[in-house]
Structure 1
Amino acid sequence: MSDITIDGKKKSFKEKFKEEFIEYWINVAYLTFYFGVFVTYKRLILAQYEIDFEEYGTAFFNAFVLGKVVSIIGMTKMGKKNINTNLSVSTLYKTAVFTLCLVVFNALEEFVVGYFKTSSAQEAIVILSHHLGTHEYLASLLVVFTSFIPFFAFKELARVIGHKTIIDLFFKRKEADL
C-alpha cells in the first residue's frame, strides 16, 4: 500500500496503522482458514487409523504468527518489489520469496527453541536438522506455498486495479445482475 493518499497528501500515522491493522487481520483470517482446512484433512486421514488429532489451536497460532511475518516482510524492500511483468510471474515470485523467508524464520525459531531447551548450539542444530527434514515439515511447507499462490494473486491484482475495485467486484452486487 502506498504512503500517499488519493489527494496526494502523505498518510498520517493513524491512517497507516489502520491499514496495517486491517491488512494483518485479513492475513490472519485467510491463513487460519487455509491451515484449518489442512488440520481437518490431517484429522480425517488419521481418523481412518483411529488416531485422535485436533490441533485447530495450532492452525490459529501459526496463522497469527505467519500473518505477522508476512506483514513484516511486506514492509521490507523484498515485499514491496513489483516485478515489471504479468501478474502470474509477480504472484509466483512473491509466493516463492515469502515461502523462503518463512523457512528462514522457522529455522531461526527452531534453533532458538532448541538452544533454550539444550543450552547447546550444537544440539540445537541437531534438533533443527531433524525438524527440517521431516515429511510433516515438507508437507507443511507445501501447504504454505500453495496457500500463498491465491493469497498473493489477490494482493497483486489489488495492487494493479485497486483494493476498492477488488472489494466492489467481490462484495457489491451489480445492477445488471438483478
Structure 2
Amino acid sequence: MAVANNHPSTKTIAQRAKNELREYAILSLYLFICFGALILYKAAILGEEGISYLPSGLAAIKALILAKFIMLGHMIRLGDRRRSRIVYVIACKALSYLILLLVLSVVEEVIVGLVHGRTIAASLAEFGGDKLPQTLATSLIMLLILIPYLASREVNVALGEGRLWTLLFEHRPAQITESKGVKP
C-alpha cells in the first residue's frame, strides 16, 4: 500500500495537474485583483486630467500571462537552490521571479511586435527611452506583488504543506477569555 504524501513522485499525474490548475487559478485571481486595482488607480488619476482610460480585459490578460510565467518558474524550481533564513529565501526568489517576468515580458513584447509588423529592434526600443521610468515603476510594483505571494508559499512549506491554508481558512472556536480575567 502506497502512502500518499506531498512528494511529487507519489502523486498521480491527475492529482498534480489538478493542484497546478488550482494554483494557477488562485495566482491568476491574485494578480487580476492587483492589476485591476492598479488600472483603476491609473484611470482615476487620468480621469482627473480629463483623459478617459479604462482598458477592458487588460488586467485579466496580464494576470493570466504572468501567472503562467510564474508557474513556469515553479516548474524549473527557480530560486529553490538557496537554503537560508526564510526572509532571504523570499527576497532572493522575489528578485529571481522579477527577472524571469521581465525577460519573458520582453520576449512577449517582441513576439507581439513581430505579429504587428514591427522589427525586434523597434519592439526592444520601447523598453528604453520614454518608457524606461514606467518600466522601472512597473517592475517595482511587480516586486511588491510577488513578495506576499512568494512569502505565503515559503511559509506554507515551512509549516508543512497545506498547513498555512488550514490555519487561514479553518473555523476557529471562540476563544475563552474568562480564564484571563476578561469578561465577554
Q: TM-score, normalised by structure 1?
A: 0.86
Q: Does residue 153 of structure 1 match 2:122?
A: no
AA matched with 2:104: F
* 1:50-129 equivalences in 2 (<5 Å): 50-79=50-79, 81-118=80-117, 123-129=119-125
Question: In structure 2, the residue corresponding to 1:147 is in which secondary structure?
Answer: helix
User: Which structure carries more helix by proportion?
Assistant: 1
Note the alpha carbon deviations across 1:61-119, whole angstroms, 9 max, x for none.
Answer: 1001111111111110325x152111111111111001101111111112222233336
Q: Taking structure 1 as reference, are residues 152 and 115 closer, same or farther at Cα in structure 2, changes over 3 Å only?
A: same
- Give % identity: 25
Larger radius of gyration: 2
* 1:13-24 equivalences in 2 (<5 Å): 13-24=13-24
Is 1:69–1:102's contact at 8 Å kept on the other side of the alignment?
A: yes
Is 2:5–2:11's contact at 8 Å kept on the other side of the alignment?
A: no
Question: In structure 2, the residue corresponding to 1:78 is in which secondary structure?
Answer: coil
**Structure 1, unpaired ranges of 5+:** none
Q: Taking structure 1 as reference, are residues 158 and 140 closer, same or farther at Cα in structure 2, changes over 3 Å only?
A: same
Q: CA deviation at 1:56?
A: 4.6
Q: Taking structure 1 as reference, are residues 82 and 162 closer, same or farther at Cα in structure 2, changes over 3 Å only?
A: farther
Q: Taking structure 1 as reference, are residues 34 and 108 closer, same or farther at Cα in structure 2, changes over 3 Å only?
A: same
Q: How large is the Cα RMSD of the aligned pairs? A: 2.1
**Residues in 2 aligned to 1:156 and 1:66: alpha-carbon distance in whole angstroms:** 20
**Structure 2, unpaired ranges of 5+:** 177-184
Is 2:113–2:123's contact at 8 Å kept on the other side of the alignment?
A: yes
Q: CA deviation at 1:137?
A: 2.4
AA matched with 1:51: I
Q: Which has the higher contact order (CA 8 A, sep 6+)?
A: 1
**Residues in 2 aligned to 1:7 and 1:107: alpha-carbon distance in whole angstroms:** 35
**Residues in 2 aligned to 1:100 and 1:88: alpha-carbon distance in whole angstroms:** 18
Q: TM-score, normalised by structure 2?
A: 0.83
Is 2:6–2:161's contact at 8 Å kept on the other side of the alignment?
A: no
AA matched with 1:6: N
Q: Does residue 177 of structure 1 match 2:175?
A: yes
AA matched with 1:34: C
Q: 2:140 aligns with which of 120, 139, 142?
A: 142
